[in-house]
Structure 1
Amino acid sequence: MAATTKRRQDDATAAPSNPIPSSSPAFGTPVHPILDRRTAPIPAPAALKPTILPILLPPATLRPLAFRTFTKKHNLTLTSAALSSLAAFIGRHCGSGWREEGLAERVLEEAAKSWKQCSIQVIVDGDGDGDTLRGILKALEGSMSGGRIVQSKTPALSRTSSFNFGPNPGTSDTGQSRPGLEAQNSFGMSALTVASDGEADEEEEEGDDPRHWIKVIGAFDQPKLVYNVQKKGFESSTIKPSLFPPPSHKTDLFRQRYQLIHQRVLRNESFQTPSFSAEASSLHRSASFATSTNRITPIANLLGRSGSNHLLLALLTILPSGTLALSDLTGTIALDVQHAIQIPEDSAWFTPGMIILVEGVYEEDYGASDASTLGNTGGIGGTIGGKFISFSLAHPPCERRTTTLGIEESNTATGPVFGWTDFLGLGSERATGARMRRIENKLLGPESAHNSNGKIVIAAEVNLDNPTTLTALRTLLLTYATGPVTEFPMTIILIGNFISSATMAGTPNTGSIEYKEIFNDLAAVLADFPDLIARTTFVFVPGDNDAWASVPVPRKSIPDLFTSRVRRVIAEANREVGNSLGKRKEGEVIWATNPSRLCWFGGKGEMVLTKDDLLGRLRRTAIRIKTQKEVENEEDTHEKSNGALEAGMDVDMSTSDKESQLDPDTITARRLTRTILSQSHLSPFPLHTRPVHWDYAHVLNLYPLPTALVLADAEAPPFVVKYEGCCVLNPGKIVEGRRRAKWIEYGVLHGTGRVMMEEM
């Protein structure tokens, strides 16, 4: 007995340490002693990995949770194919705990964030963009364990891909939401009270000069985005632009313009049916625009509705027969403006080529003779019979830049509209906005040493073949060169025409040699201010007389053949002043296109630069609209002709009664500003009036509205007008009379400008 006990103790001592107890010899498990749990607790197996039993998750079951995460929280739209892919992924990797344990919600959250990082589309598609979604799910699969996203795997993954699977920046450590942070998180960047290492290094390398964050985008370098009506978002064009495109691109030019304005108008609160109103009524003329519901009627839907009131959004055109007409995507109809008035009165111009809102009555002609008279076939898609008698005309209501991008003036997110769209190739507002605002406050804020340095100087109609112009330019440079370095402007923009007559057009003194000599004279003037030109960025925008004979817009920059002396002078100034610059950026010169865009701090600020005689073209081609008094004297039957359109114009300018007391220059400036910004286009004219390269017409769009718009129109008076958050500037001519130089100074930080004048 003692020997048996001794043998059992020896076997227990020699037995290997295994926490798994023996169950039964029938299963082939080795014999192990049962340890006393009071003295030797069994540790949990460290290498034991939780397993997930895959399930078949129907897409319809996942739809409510996916809708709440993608649509309600991230403003994305899931297609059926994408929902099926997500349901299959969650069912395979999360199993039966997808709902009770909240595993699916975390996966959907990370998938939505990753989609925003990788795509500008708001439609999450599993077909066309299936590669993107598959890449996101594949990256998620590598960071999951037991149905959960393992945070320890995240840092290594984020360094090798563009996805961000870190903790949700919109929540605190306790899981409670922190307002504002989720709205600022984008493209893998935190929101960002603390910059990432890469961003901090980049900011350190750029130094403390705000000019490091200035970029000029030429017309031929701007990305082309196409509005997709079905997806209600912008897509990158897959067609390479050409100077000799097929004829179908001419139609696309106007279709894109119409669709942009149409979606903008429909998003206006005045065109949305109130949820508390069950009445689907037409225009209420006596009601205010904010409380009435306005509906746009397609022209083809006018057939068979003679004598009824309608509101049309259409392109104002002139038919081959000479008849004024309206055209939209469904058809064309003759327009009668005999009784029409403008809303608001004398506030803008109306020319063929503009997309306008027209309110009136359809009058059908049962003689069926209009088709042959107007030179087109009747019916849908053609010129329908009859005419549209207009009572009031107005431009489409303008939309502020902050509304288009979904950002309020307080820089807080109000829900993305096109905030994730990268219009200029510099990063979207949602992706880089928070970081760019932080850098701007650091370099130009109240506590910055460069607070007074955030200035842009703009001079136009710089005719270098005129000696008086060179004197005025010298006065401009002397105004800033005599001040401290911190007062030097960031950018000096000089806009043509740089020669009085068209270059190489066959007229005397306009050849290539003479054209090169005028820039040599400019270089001689710049050489007298080395300290200024070594700390400033010069931007040159050509006019119609510059470089070559007049061609369609956009126009290319001035060739380097004529500007070598100017570049040489600025390079010499950089060498001379280089030792005192420190981390500041050297002087540079940029030969821009017409039009072009000057941006600062990414997409934080955008200034559109264009040279055109807009005022003269508007006055020459505008149709005459009678005043309200003239209409009342002719007919007393249209007492309510000012209708809902009058209340609908969100006007921050004076009314016609007050405008009558203003000087003519102010009235002209306001009319010009309202016309261009309401059309959201730099050339709202027919192609025979202002030729445009069809494939590059997108660079003429003003959507979203820029921060500032420079209309270098020599015929218009110098002015600074702010409308719907956009500061519109016209420098006029640099020479005012014989003894004064005139230009505009624009402040980047405050977004305002002022007209400057100095005696020469």
Structure 2
Amino acid sequence: MENTERIRKVISSLFKLNGLQIRSDATSYLVGILAPLPGLEPEQWAERIVDRILKVKLKTPLVDKAIVETAVKECGKGTDEGQEELITLISSFDVPRYSYNADKKKFLPVTEPNVLMAGATHKALIYRNRYSILLQRTYHHELFSPIIRGGEWDDARKKFQLRPIEFLAGSNTKVVDVVVLGMISQLKEGKYFIEDNTGSMELDLSETKFHTGLYTENCFVLAEGMYDEGIFHIKAMGLPPPETALVTKSYHGSVNFFGGNPNVISKERLRLIDKQNEGAMFVILSDVHLDKISVLEKLRILLHGYSEAPPVLFIIMGNFLSEPHGVQSAVALKDCFKTLADIIAEFPPLVLNSKFIIVPGPTDPGFVNILPRPPFADCITLYFREKIPNSVFASNPFRIRYCTKNIVIFREDILTKLCRNSIYFPSSGDIPKEFVSTVVGQAHLCPLPLHICPVYWSFDHALSLYPLPDLVIIGDKADPFTETNTGCIFTNPGSFLKTDYSFKVYTPFENKVEDCQLPSD
């Protein structure tokens, strides 16, 4: 309350010093925008806004709310040439690649160019890079990081100590209460092993207690148990500890894992713009079968409903065909996009003010279903792009930076595949929670064997979730859900048709996801 009154006095004083009078409603509007800003930022922004108003030829010294709103928008947009838009769209094929250097304890950029058909060494690097990320992240956790006192390591308060597999393999006696971080694999049929970069060891899972998560082959785990005669008897198995984005940035703040250019617009300006556009929203739909007349009719109703208050983004994910069309699939999809473009064109406010992002599904025609998947071919989307200029046909997965929010979009039936291939099915019944815990623990969108979910070896980093973004949109045919874990929201809109035309709406300013559904009539 005191801060609000202080800002109100600052605003009033600034306007008087410049020979202006500000109306009370305009003052309240400015206070509402500036009050949430930290430190001296409110005063700095108030001065900029007043300077902007002074550049306008006013008929009277009385400043109303409309003039202030215009000045705030202009300050938010800025006037620097070459400035990027507030929305940054990042293809999976443009995500920067880094490698962790254990000696320097930091990530270094990989200068080698990425190619789709990479050499065999890149396959091994997939798991080495994932392991290095999770290992250093585990050491950040208080249960695994030793305390330094007087220049010496003090292990008295360290609850756990990670051991490499070579430590166990070199032991001639029984070793109890040992913890290993490694990858589950099936090197021999019917027998599970744990691997790290020092070796592998057979597991005995007969008496294992599994903590929260879905455990599959090629999943990295923290395994606690006893080693005896070449067998690691697992007492408890869990996922690597998660880490918030703030903690990650405190260790690697200068590294741009997400991609794009995060420093084009200052964070202060972005926060102000975010506050000024607090009504901005993203509409999220998945499994939109454009070859179904009922779906097209519902889309027309949805677009009509939003035409009076256009959202910032429409995120529309495949599959866009409900069934295979054989050799005519590409032609059928081209016709479907043409129909969708014509429907969107019926609502000019949406064409002018909203951006449409189209993400391919796993069975959509085009490229083979290997991740990350390129956008649809130009020959399929040409009419749509000409009719709806403010549209983007995206890769899968895809990244968006909006103001201060980082968002990842992924269309794959990944939850279904994780459940089907899990070596232990959880008894909790809360599958979305188990799934989200798994993805966060693995810091990866697709912690499955490559024969289950193929990935281009040199682009595996594009599926990484390190550091955690603000929002992850998972397009899965499973039931809709929204879960929050370690400061990151995971949401699945579900199949648009099978869920009776339900979808999700995300408001960046509130960082909140809402469930929405069209009437069935």
In the alignment, the residues of structure 2 paired with residue 238 and residue 271 of structure 1 have an alpha-carbon distance, to the nearest angstrom, of: 32
C-alpha deviation, 1:678, in angstroms: 1.1
Deviations 1:363-397 (A, max 9, x none): 11xxxxxxxxxxxxxxxxxxxxx110001010011
Q: Which runs of 5+ in 2 are unaligned?
A: 1-37, 52-73
Letter in 2 for 1:341: K
| 1:194-226 deviation line (CA, Å, top 9, x unaligned) | 89x9xx99943489xx99300210011222222
Deviation at 1:495, TM superposition (A): 0.5
Q: Deviations over 1:667-699 (max 9, x none)?
A: 122111111111110111111111110011110
Q: Alignment partner for residue 484 of structure 2, among 722, 726, 740?
A: 722
Partner of residue 688, structure 1:
451
Shift in Å, 1:419:
1.0
Q: Partner residue of 2:396?
A: 594
Given candidates 198, 203, 228, the residue that maps to 1:335 is 203
Q: Secondary structure at the match of 2:143?
A: helix
Tell me which residue corresponds to 1:297: 163
1:720-750 Cα offsets, whole Å, 9 max, x none, are: 111111011100011245xx42110001112
CA contact 1:359–1:393 (8 Å) conserved in 2: yes
Deviation at 1:502, TM superposition (A): 4.7
* Superposition TM-score, scaled by structure 2 size: 0.81
| Structure with greater Cα Rg | 1
SS at match of 2:137: helix
Contact 1:456 1:745 (8 Å CA) reproduced: yes
**Aligned counterpart, 2:422:** 622
Q: Residues 162-241 of structure 1 correspond to what in structure 2 (within 5 A)?
A: 203-205=77-79, 212-241=85-114
- Alignment-derived partner of residue 376 in structure 1: none
Indicate if the aligned counterparts of 1:475 and 1:741 stay in contact, CA closer than 8 A.
no
CA contact (8 A) 2:400 2:408 kept: yes
After superposition, give the CA deviation of every residue in 1:209-264 in whole Å (9 maximum; x if it has no partner).
x9930021001122222222221112221111111211111111110000000000
Using the alignment, how far apart are the partners of 1:219 and 1:423 within structure 2? 12
Q: Quick one: structure 1 residues 625 and 730, their matched pair in 2 at CA, closer, same or farther if it must change by over 3 Å? A: closer
Of 484, 505, 512 in structure 2, the residue corresponding to residue 745 of structure 1 is 505
**CA apart distance, 1:294:** 1.1
For 2:153 and 2:80, locate their aligned partners in 1 and report how far apart those are by CA, in whole Å: 58
Aligned to 1:398: 242
Q: 1:545 aligns with which of 332, 341, 363?
A: 363
Q: Aligned partners of 2:248, 2:409: CA distance in 1, in Å?
A: 21
Query: 2:316 — aligned with what?
Result: 494
Q: Conserved in 1, the CA contact under 8 Å of 2:214 and 2:438? A: yes
Moved over 4 A (4+): 191-195, 275-279
Instruction: Tell me, in whole angstroms, the C-alpha distance in 2 between the residues paired with 1:471 and 1:700.
Output: 34
For these two proteins, the number of residue pairs brought into alignment is 452
Distance in 2 between residues matched to 1:258 and 1:552, nearest whole Å: 22
Q: In structure 1, what is the equivalent of residue 476 of structure 2?
A: 713
Q: Does 1:426 align with 2:426?
A: no
> Is 2:182 the counterpart of 1:348?
no
User: What are the residue-to-residue correspondences of 1:331-480 with 2, within 5 Å?
Assistant: 331-343=199-211, 347-364=212-229, 386-406=230-250, 417-427=251-261, 436-445=266-275, 448=276, 450-452=277-279, 454-480=280-306
User: Cα–Cα, structure 1 residues 274 and 192, in superposed 2: closer, same or farther, change >3 Å?
Assistant: farther
DSSP 3-state at the match of 2:178: strand
Pairwise CA distance, 1:270: 1.3
- Name the structure 2 match of 1:611: 411
In structure 2, C-alpha distance between the alignment counterparts of 1:419 and 1:741, rounded to whole Å = 41
CA contact (8 A) 2:399 2:406 kept: yes
Residues of 1 paired with 2:446 and 2:39: CA distance? 39
Q: Identity rate of aligned residues, in percent?
A: 28
Instruction: Tell me if structure 2 keeps the 8 A contact 1:342–1:625.
Output: no
Matches within 5 A, 1:57-68: none
8 Å CA contact 1:340, 1:626 repeated in 2 = no
Q: Does the aligned pair in 1 maintain the 2:147–2:155 contact within 8 Å?
A: no
The one-letter code matched in structure 1 to 2:400 is: L
Residue identity opposite 1:555 in structure 2: R
CA distance in 2, matches of 1:569, 1:339: 61
Partner of 1:10: none
The whole-number CA distance in structure 2 between the counterparts of 1:238 and 1:275 is 35
Q: Secondary structure at the match of 1:745?
A: strand
Change in Cα spacing, 1:323 to 1:180, as seen in structure 2 (3 Å) is farther
Aligned 8 A contact 1:340 1:625 in 2: no
Q: 1:741 to 1:679 in 2, by over 3 A?
A: same
DSSP-derived class of the 1:699 partner: helix
Aligned to 1:563, the other structure's residue is in SS state helix
Structure 1 gaps of 5+ residues are 1-178, 185-190, 282-290, 365-385, 407-416, 572-587, 628-655, 657-663
Q: Does 1:251 align with 2:124?
A: yes
Higher relative contact order (CA 8 A, sep 6+): 2
CA offsets 1:530-588 (integer angstroms, 9 cap, x no match) = 112211011001011223253311100011211122223224xxxxxxxxxxxxxxxx1
SS in 2 for 1:358: strand
- Equivalent residues of 2:257, 2:466 under 8 A apart: no
Mapped contact 1:595–1:700 kept (Cα < 8 A): yes
Sort the Cα spacing of 1:211 and 1:673 in 2 relative to 1 into closer, same or farther, 3 A: farther
Separation in 2 of the partners of 1:319 and 1:477? 52
**Distance in 1 between the 2:302 and 2:316 partners?**
11
1:512 CA drift (Å): 2.5
Residue pair 2:278, 2:510 contacting (<8 A) in 1 also: no
Contact 2:373 2:396 in 1 (8 A): yes
Give the CA deviation at 1:515: 2.0
CA 1:423–1:279 in structure 2 vs 1: closer, same or farther (change >3 Å)? closer
The one-letter code of the counterpart of 1:514 is A
Contact 2:94 / 2:259 at 8 angstroms: preserved in 1? no
Does residue 670 (structure 1) correspond to residue 466 (structure 2)? The answer is: no
Greater mean alpha carbon deviation, residues 331-340 or residues 264-273? 264-273
User: Any idea what SS the aligned residue of 1:750 has?
Assistant: coil
- Tell me, yes or no, if the aligned pair for 2:367 and 2:374 is still in contact at 8 Å: no
- Partner residue, 1:150: none
1:399-431 deviation line (CA, Å, top 9, x unaligned): 01111112xxxxxxxxxx111112244345xx5
Judge conservation of contact 1:502–1:544 (CA < 8 Å) in 2: no
- Give the match's secondary structure for 2:188: coil
> Against the structure 1 CA distance between its residues 477 and 202, is the aligned structure 2 distance closer, same or farther, given a 3 Å change threshold?
closer
The reply to whether residue 554 of structure 1 matches residue 372 of structure 2 is yes
More strand by share: 2
Aligned-partner Cα distance in 2 for 1:536–1:563 = 18
Q: How has the CA–CA distance of structure 1 residues 180 and 356 changed in structure 2, closer, same or farther, with 3 Å as cutoff?
A: farther
Equivalents in 2 of 1:731, 1:626: separation in Å? Answer: 23
CA distance in 1, matches of 2:516, 2:334: 29
Using a 3 Å threshold, how does the CA distance of structure 1 residues 438 and 626 change in structure 2: closer, same or farther? Answer: closer
